[in-house]
Amino acid sequence: MLYFLRSLRRYRDIGKIPEQKEKDGHASARSLFEVILPDGRFFCGEKRMGNRFITVDPDRILGSTDMGPVFSSGLLKTDESRELYVFPGFCDVHVHFREPGFSYKETILSGSLAAAHGGYTDVCTMPNLDPVPDSPEHLKAQQEIIDRDAAVRIHPYGAITVREEGKELSDLEGMSRGVVAFSDDGKGIQSEETMRDAMLRAKALGKIIAAHCEDESLLRGGYIHDGRYAAEHGHRGISSASEFRQIERDLLLAEETECAYHVCHISAKESVEAVRRAKTRGVNVTCETAPHYLVLCEDDLKEDGRFKMNPPLRSAEDREALIEGLTDGTIDMIATDHAPHSEEEKSRGLEKSAFGITGLETAFPVLYSSLVLGGRISLERLITLMTSAPRRRFGITGDPGYTVWDLEKVYRIDPGQFLSKGKSTPFAGMEVRGSCVETVIDGKDIYRR
């Protein structure tokens, strides 16, 4: 703790904590400090606080003056005197932890350790598992592993349709209490009738439908964006229409059914525009995009599976439209779509590799370095997009804990340092600023550098 105090440059000793009975029965007196966090380094919710006093004892943050208690409690130890920032724990509404069914790619344990390393304390897991959580029994199989192994708070999605086959609706009512929302992520729901029924039932349950939008009739075997790079290198492309046409269909259904509707991983400029127009009409819609769509585009593609995900990296123009969407509030939150695979599955080049990249451990440094330091969005906006906005929409309550970041630390992204089993990322080798020092939840260190 003293290292942490020193790193904050200024603190004053304000006395002793009254003698406390320790677990072993011995009494001990510990010093109590007030720490002055330098201007703007402490975030309460999404607000930046200036010159804030926080009261700490050698192991715990007790609260901050005139704010009331901000953190319930927690260990806070660091080992370097750097520019440290304290943020609420991040929240990701779109991750794939692969268990049960595909634990060679990721497990609840490895995924949640990766989340903690990335500064996350809440994550929502997508249901493309085996068994697919499409009934209370199947959901229970996943929940048991979560109860046993999770290091962060995990909120599972329930599948919209049985086995995510897009035909028969799952037992939405039976799963409702145990899931954060419903999604068939990985696949679009092709039938308009099925989506309408799903929305009506989700609406009755007060649950969100989170949609992976992909019209399969427009895919034509594509695997990267149908743009310049695909044309020049002889690849088959995925058109933007396969995404935005289904979003447009769903937005009309959401308007008709008044279901709370959320669009997963928006990647195309037309999708941003469709959501923008729907919001103006008052449709109950939110959407997310992911760091790779905001920072990279088809111009960055290499003949390597680590650049392959679905939806694909699109054009520079699409990327600009997404950043504009973040700025004007059309895009509500940033999710990673953390989708780990084995090394072999990602080693078969652009055409043959599996879709999906690992993302939890690079999201904040990549976004901070590119968008905040690049002058595109403020740090406050980024923190909102990664903390309070997703929690508010998805009804994720409770103390978010906090995460401490060293924003002076410059390094190159090295997948060898990931705690995720998935090492495939288009950001490998990228120089970034910002390293996670510590993540704390319920007073426990879940990650410490």
Helices (H), 258-399: 269-281, 291-295, 316-328, 349-352, 363-367, 379-386, 388-394
Token pair 């109860």: residue? 147
Tell me the CA distances in angstroms from 210 to 39, 245, 254, 332, 396, one per residue in order: 38, 16, 11, 13, 15
> Is the CB of residue 376 less than 8 Å from the CB of residue 71?
no
Cβ of residue 242: shortest distance to Zn ion, in angstroms? Answer: 12
Binding mask 206-245 for Zn ion (x = CB under 5 A): ------x---------------------------------
In whole angstroms, the minimum distance from the beta carbon of 142 to Zn ion comes to: 18
Nearest approach in angstroms of CB 195 to Zn ion is 15
The CA distance from 62 to 275, in Å, is 42
The Cα–Cα gap between 366 and 357 comes to 14
- Closest separation between CB of residue 186 and Zn ion, Å? 6
Distance CA 150, CA 444 (A): 13
Specify whether the CB–CB gap between 228 and 301 falls below 8 A. Answer: no
Minimal distance, residue 172 CB to Zn ion, in Å: 19
Could you tell me the smallest distance in angstroms from the CB atom of residue 236 to Zn ion? 19
Nearer CB in complex with Zn ion: 183/439: 183
Integer angstrom CA distances of residue 99 from 104, 114, 123, 129, 134: 9, 15, 14, 6, 15
Return the structure tokens found at 161.
Answer: 């349709």
What's the min distance (Å) between Cβ of 185 and Zn ion? 4
Nearer to Zn ion, 92 or 185 (CB): 185
Angle ∠(270,333,437) on CA atoms, nearest 5:
135
Between 131 and 170, how does the x/- string for binding to Zn ion read (CB under 5 A)? ----------------------------------------
Nearer to Zn ion, 48 or 187 (CB): 187
Q: Give, in order, the Cα–Cα distances in Å from 302 to each of 108, 129, 268, 291, 351.
A: 31, 30, 20, 18, 12
Does 13 participate in catalysis according to the annotation? no
Q: Which of 337, 399, 406, 442 is catalytic?
A: 337
Residue from 185, 288, 345, 438 binding Zn ion (CB under 5 A)? 185
Task: State which of positions 311-350 bind Zn ion (CB under 5 A).
Answer: none
Contact range with Zn ion by CB under 5 A, out of 205-213, 232-240, 274-282, 363-371: 205-213
Count residues binding Zn ion (CB under 5 A): 2
Nearest approach in angstroms of CB 271 to Zn ion is 13
Nearer to Zn ion, 185 or 332 (CB): 185
Only segment of 39-47, 53-61, 108-116, 183-191 that touches Zn ion (CB under 5 A): 183-191
> Which lies closer to Zn ion via its Cβ, residue 99 or residue 184?
184
Interaction between residue 292 and Zn ion (CB under 5 A): no
HEC-encoded secondary structure of 17-45: EEEEECCCCCEEEEEEEEEEECCCCEEEC
Q: How far is the CB of 268 from Zn ion (least distance, A)?
A: 14
Residue nearest to Zn ion (CB): 212
Q: Please identify, using beta-carbon distances, which residue of 213 and 372 lies nearer to Zn ion.
A: 213
End-to-end CA distance of the chain: 14
Please, which residues bridge with residue 44 across strands? 47
The first and second tokens of residue 437, run together, are 């020092």
Nearby residues of 369 by Cβ (< 8 Å), 6 or more positions away: 430, 431, 432, 433, 434
Are 398 and 383 in contact by the 8 Å Cβ rule? The answer is no
Which residues 244-273 are close enough to bind Zn ion by CB under 5 A?
none
User: Given strand 402-412, what is the order of strands in its sheet?
Assistant: 47-49, 42-44, 84-88, 402-412, 431-441, 444-448
Report CA-CA distances (Å) from 243 to 249, 313, 442. 10, 13, 39
Q: Which residues are known catalytic residues?
A: 337
Give me the residues that bind Zn ion (CB under 5 A), please: 185, 212
